[in-house]
Structure 1
Amino acid sequence: MKNIKKTLRKTALACLMGSFFLISIDSIAQHRGGGGGARRGGGTISRPATQSRPAVSRTSGSSGINRPTTANRPGSNGSGTQISRPSTGSNSKIANNNRNSNNVNRNNTGNRNTNISGNTVNRNNINVDRSRDITINNNHNTVVRRNTVIYTRPPYRYGGYRYNTFHPYYFHPYHPYYWGPVWHPWGFFVATLAVTAIVVSVESTQYHYDQGVWYAPSNGGYTAVPAPVGGTVNNIPSGAETVNTGTVNNYYYGGTYYEKDGSSYKVVPPTAGTIVENLPEGGKEVTIGDVKYVKFGETYYQPIQVDGKSKYEVVLVEEDK
């Protein structure tokens, strides 16, 4: 009997220690596994332990980047069933919409820039009065008569040409001069002429002359033009100034040079070395090397200073051989 009792005690003690050992192992497993046993159970709700960013994938049939829209959500039965949403169509539409809106914006911007550029060009064309560029009968006042006086200063050489003047270059800005209300600059258009206008024929071409201004018929009216060389009139405006060419006196008014011819006045080309104080509209400032001239047709005027006053001298331009 004693042996049986000892055997039963040993067996009970072994069972008790085995149960305690199993309970301890299970407890340690749960502690280290973070509830892994709960995930293995069929009746409990499982949550994903970590969140990872879905990888961006490109599909061969899509023009943009498709973001995966399938979401791994646990099912109601706790089995972690994957619920998927079809996303290819929706993402493609969004991408296409974005691309279309960008294209529309770019096109609008381009059109807007084109319009601005076009307006700028138009404004410049309107502001520039091309009729005053003296393209009408431009050949009439371009020939420069050579002066018989010998130049004592060396010419300015540039680009294969010699620019001869009696006075040194002294820059001052070109400001067109206005000779009064009865004078009109070259390119000015009038519908009718005053009764004092006369007809002057020069080389089979008829001009109209009135108070120092020469006109040519154009567009149902008359346009002020450079005076034709050789044109002769009986009177010139009282405001004409006398300019010395070095050989004879000329009379200068409104950009035109006259020479006394008996009882009349004949239009002549400017003489090299002639000095005038004022120039009319229609000239262009041109830079040649280090010198800025005012050019009418092919006639160059060099800015100079005489007795402290800003004036212009007619330049003799020659080919530098």
Structure 2
Amino acid sequence: MKNISKTVKKSALLCLIGTFFLISLDTFAQRHGGGAAHRGGAVHRPAGGTQTRPSATRPANQSRPAVTKPSTNRPSVTRPGSNGSGTKVTRPTNGSNTQINNRKNTTNRNSNNTRNSGNRNTNISGNTRNVDRSRDITINNNRNTVVRRNTVVYTRPPYVHGGYRYYGYHPYYYHPYRPYYWGPVWHPWGFFVATLAVTAIVVSVENTQYHYDQGVWYAPSNGGYTAVPAPVGGTVNNIPSGAQTVNTGTVNNYYYGGTYYEKDGSSYKVVAPTAGTVVESLPEGGEEVTIGDVKYIKFGETYYQPVQVDGKDKYEVVLVEEDK
């Protein structure tokens, strides 16, 4: 019995010690583990031991950045024009047909303009003419004018050759024919332009319409306009400020670009050249012809004799008559 009683006492003592131990453990867990609960609690792994990575959700307005391939087009290259005038020809930066066609059109237009740069090109005061230099290779010098006889009597005998008499007031003095250039808006006879400047006006002469612009006369031709000799009788309100005053012996004429004008009230009328008139310069389109021992400059039916006046090389309108 004593052994049984001792055994029961030991069991009770062990139970008491165990209970005290469990209470101590629970108190310890509440002190330390409970603090963790206040800081967010313990992290519990899902059952089964499988750990799931949280889904990374991309904001709705955020898209994957586009990947841009480097352009395979050739970079824009600017090179100077072939004529050295400073005009630039720019290669397009893409290969579209429209860009290529534009480049061709631009190049052709620049080629036409730069080829005439400084040589009667047009871009004057913002007014542009499209000039086709390919059509003025041959200058039309068929100027069918009749020289007006002068009232001043010739004191020098005429030069006679081939059945004709050539009259001049000044002695013949040969010097080479050098065509004169009147400036960027002037064009010689036979020069073709695709369009005219807005300053051009229409002048009707004997039921024929001409276009006049700054000292140059044009006639419609092949979808454009060709510079022609001024029609006798054509009247305009203004002539270029660079017109030269020349004396015919009886009246003053105004000479510009191979054309003669007379004052007619407030206007200027185109007239035929008067025999004996002396001018300093002749335009392009003349032909140097040899008649016997004399060389004349011929414009259609008009002859000019090279002379020297006051030490300067000039040209005199010659009166030509048949030797009867």
| Cα deviations by residue, 1:86-135 (Å, 9 ceiling, x for unpaired) | xxxxxxxxxxxxxxxxxxxxxxxxxxxxxxxxxxxxxxxx9995641324
Counterpart-to-counterpart distance in 1, 2:322 and 2:221: 37
Give the match's secondary structure for 1:315. strand
**What TM-score does the superposition give when structure 1 sets the normalisation length?**
0.58
Which residue of structure 1 aligns with residue 172 of structure 2? 169
Counterpart-to-counterpart distance in 1, 2:253 and 2:134: 35
Match of 2:245 among 221, 229, 242: 242
- Match status 1:207 vs 2:210: yes
Count of aligned pairs between the two proteins: 192
Match of 1:301 among 291, 300, 304: 304
Cα contact 2:210–2:219 (8 A) shared by 1: yes
Displacement of 1:283: 0.4
Which residue of structure 1 aligns with residue 139 of structure 2? 132
Letter in 1 for 2:250: T
Alignment of 1:194-273 (within 5 A): 194-273=197-276
- Match status 1:315 vs 2:318: yes
| Cα deviations by residue, 1:180-214 (Å, 9 ceiling, x for unpaired) | 00111111111111111000000000000000000
Give the match's secondary structure for 2:268. strand
Give the match's secondary structure for 2:139. helix
**What TM-score does the superposition give when structure 2 sets the normalisation length?**
0.58
Which residue of structure 2 aligns with residue 151 of structure 1? 154
Shift of the 221–295 alpha-carbon distance from structure 1 to 2, 3 Å rule, reads same
Letter in 1 for 2:201: I
Displacement of 1:160: 1.0
Letter in 1 for 2:245: T
| Cα deviations by residue, 1:35-59 (Å, 9 ceiling, x for unpaired) | xxxxxxxxxxxxxxxxxxxxxxxxx
Cα contact 1:190–1:222 (8 A) shared by 2: yes
- Match status 1:292 vs 2:295: yes
Letter in 2 for 1:134: N
Q: Which stretches in structure 1 are left out of the alignment for 5+ residues?
A: 1-125
Which residue of structure 1 aligns with residue 62 of structure 2? none
Letter in 1 for 2:317: V
Cα contact 2:158–2:167 (8 A) shared by 1: yes
Which residue of structure 2 aligns with residue 191 of structure 1? 194
Cα contact 2:204–2:234 (8 A) shared by 1: yes
Counterpart-to-counterpart distance in 1, 2:247 and 2:311: 19
Shift of the 175–271 alpha-carbon distance from structure 1 to 2, 3 Å rule, reads same
Give the match's secondary structure for 1:239. coil
Runs of 4 or more consecutive aligned structure 1 residues displaced over 6 Å after TM superposition: none
| Cα deviations by residue, 1:253-289 (Å, 9 ceiling, x for unpaired) | 0000000000000000000000000000000000000
Matched residues, percent identical? 86
Letter in 1 for 2:243: A
Give the match's secondary structure for 1:167. coil
Counterpart-to-counterpart distance in 1, 2:321 and 2:174: 22
Letter in 2 for 1:144: V
Letter in 2 for 1:236: I
Q: Which stretches in structure 2 are left out of the alignment for 5+ residues?
A: 1-132
Counterpart-to-counterpart distance in 2, 1:131 and 1:249: 33
Letter in 2 for 1:174: Y
Cα contact 2:135–2:191 (8 A) shared by 1: no
Counterpart-to-counterpart distance in 1, 2:177 and 2:316: 13
Which structure has greater helix proportion?
1
Shift of the 282–154 alpha-carbon distance from structure 1 to 2, 3 Å rule, reads same
- Match status 1:282 vs 2:280: no
Cα contact 1:133–1:283 (8 A) shared by 2: no
Counterpart-to-counterpart distance in 2, 1:265 and 1:280: 20
Give the match's secondary structure for 2:211. strand
Cα contact 1:250–1:259 (8 A) shared by 2: yes
Give the match's secondary structure for 2:149. coil
Please provide the CA RMSD for this pair. 1.6
Letter in 1 for 2:139: R
